[in-house]
C-alpha cells in the first residue's frame, strides 16, 4: 500500500519536465506497482461504490436443530407408597447422573397436584455416582441422612434404588453418605452395608405400581400400561376417561404373577377420543368380598388428537 501511495503521488506530478524525464518517471511507477504485486495502478472507486472484496451482508441464521432429549423415570411417593414420574432431560451419556439430579430436584407442580411428593430431604447433593458390574454406587451428602422416621428413611432409599435400577444394566445400588457406608439409616429395616435391590422394598410398593404412563404423559391412538402388581389372580382393571367424564377405554390387565407374588405387566391398547385435553387413567382391583374398587391408582394424562 505504501508503494501504491507513492505511485499515486508520482502520477499526480503536473509540472513540465523534459520528455525523457517524464518517461523515466512513468517507467518507475510501473516497476513500483509490479513490486507491490498489484499490477498497474487502477482508478480509485467512487465513494458510492461498495468494494467487492468486502461482504457487508449478514447471513440469515440457519434453522437450529431441535434439542435431543431423553426420558428418565423418577420415583416419588404417593402417600406411603412409591409412584412414578417421567422427566425430560437433554440427551446425555451420563443418563444415571441426570436421573439422580431430577430425583433430587423433587416433584414438579403437576406431579404435586397429582399427589406425588418426595421423602428425600431438601438440599441433598449428589457427591458421586459410579456404575460397575450392574451395581450403581451412589454417594450422597449428609442431608440425605437428616433426622426422620424409619418409614421415611426407607422411602427415600427406595426412591433412589428404583430410580437407578430402572436404568439398563443396573440391578443393585450401594449407598454411601459423605463417602461412608452405614449399616442402617435412621432405623430403617433395610441394611445398607451391602447393595440393595428392588425386591428389598416390597413394603413401600402399592398393590399396583403403574410406571407408564406417568402424570402429564400424552396419550393419542394407543395407551401403553406397564409396571408391576401383586393382586388377586394377577389381574386388575384400567379405565381411561376424557375431560367430560366419557369412558375412552376399559380393559383388564394381566400381570405375570399375583396373589402374594409381584408380577410384571406391559400391555398396549388402541384408544380414540373426540375430546382432546385432560384425561385420567385409573387402575384398580375389585374386592373379592363385595366387588368394590380397591388399590386405586389415579394418573392425569393428556389426551391428544391423532
Q: Where is 112: in which H helix or E strand?
A: helix 109-113
Q: Residue 20: pLDDT above 50?
A: no
Contacts of 28 (CB under 8 A, 6+ apart): 10
Range 112-125 average pLDDT: 97
Contacts of 229 (CB under 8 A, 6+ apart): 207, 208, 209, 236, 253, 255, 258, 262, 263, 265
| pLDDT at 144 (0 to 100) | 96
| Whole-angstrom Cα Rg for the chain | 36
DSSP E strands in 81-180: the ranges are 81-90, 116-117, 126-132, 135-140, 172-177
Q: How far is residue 186's CA from residue 201's CA, in Å, rounded to a whole number? A: 16
Q: Residue 1: pLDDT above 70?
A: no
User: pLDDT tens, 67-106?
Assistant: 799 999 999 999 999 999 999 999 999 999 999 999 999 9
Domains identified in the chain and CATH numbers = 2-35 (no CATH), 69-204 (no CATH), 208-303 (2.60.40.10)
Q: How far is residue 229's CA from residue 48's CA, in Å, rounded to a whole number? A: 80
- In angstroms, how far is the first alpha carbon of the chain from the final one? 69
Residues above pLDDT 90, as percent of the chain: 73
Q: Residue 223: pLDDT above 80?
A: yes
| pLDDT at 64 (0 to 100) | 55
CA 276-236-106 angle, 5° bins: 60
Question: What is the pLDDT confidence band of residue 274, given thresholds at 50, 70 and 90?
Answer: confident
Helix (H, G, I), strand (E, B) or coil at 139: strand
pTM: 0.77
Amino acid at each position: 500500500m505504501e508503494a501504491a501511495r507513492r505511485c499515486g503521488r508520482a502520477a499526480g506530478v503536473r509540472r513540465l519536465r523534459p520528455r525523457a524525464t517524464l518517461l523515466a518517471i512513468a517507467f518507475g511507477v510501473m516497476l513500483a506497482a509490479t513490486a507491490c504485486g498489484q499490477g498497474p495502478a487502477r482508478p480509485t472507486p467512487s465513494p458510492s461504490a461498495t468494494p467487492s472484496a468486502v461482504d457487508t451482508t449478514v447471513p440469515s441464521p440457519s434453522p437450529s436443530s431441535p434439542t435431543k432429549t431423553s426420558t428418565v423415570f423418577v420415583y416419588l411417593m404417593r402417600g406411603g407408597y412409591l409412584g412414578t414420574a417421567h422427566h425430560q432431560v437433554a440427551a446425555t451419556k451420563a443418563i444415571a447422573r441426570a436421573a439422580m439430579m431430577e430425583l433430587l430436584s423433587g416433584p414438579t407442580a403437576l406431579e404435586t397436584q397429582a399427589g406425588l411428593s418426595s421423602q428425600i430431604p431438601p438440599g441433598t447433593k449428589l457427591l458421586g455416582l459410579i456404575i460397575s458390574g450392574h451395581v450403581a454406587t451412589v454417594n450422597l451428602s449428609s442431608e440425605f441422612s437428616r433426622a426422620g422416621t424409619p418409614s421415611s428413611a426407607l422411602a427415600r432409599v427406595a426412591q433412589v434404588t428404583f430410580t437407578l435400577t430402572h436404568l439398563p444394566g443396573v440391578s443393585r445400588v450401594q449407598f454411601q453418605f459423605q463417602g461412608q457406608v452405614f449399616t442402617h439409616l435412621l432405623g430403617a429395616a433395610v441394611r445398607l452395608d451391602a447393595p440393595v435391590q428392588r425386591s428389598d422394598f416390597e413394603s413401600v410398593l402399592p398393590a399396583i405400581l403403574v410406571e407408564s404412563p406417568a402424570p402429564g404423559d400424552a396419550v393419542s391412538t394407543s395407551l401403553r400400561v406397564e409396571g408391576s402388581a401383586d393382586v388377586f389372580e394377577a389381574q386388575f382393571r384400567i379405565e381411561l376417561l376424557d375431560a367430560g367424564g366419557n369412558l375412552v377405554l376399559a380393559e383388564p390387565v394381566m400381570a405375570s404373577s399375583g396373589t402374594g407374588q409381584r408380577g410384571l405387566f406391559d400391555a398396549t391398547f388402541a384408544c380414540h377420543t373426540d375430546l382432546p385435553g385432560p384425561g385420567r387413567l385409573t387402575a384398580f382391583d375389585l374386592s373379592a368380598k363385595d366387588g368394590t374398587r380397591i388399590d386405586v391408582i389415579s394418573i392425569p394424562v393428556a389426551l391428544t388428537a391423532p
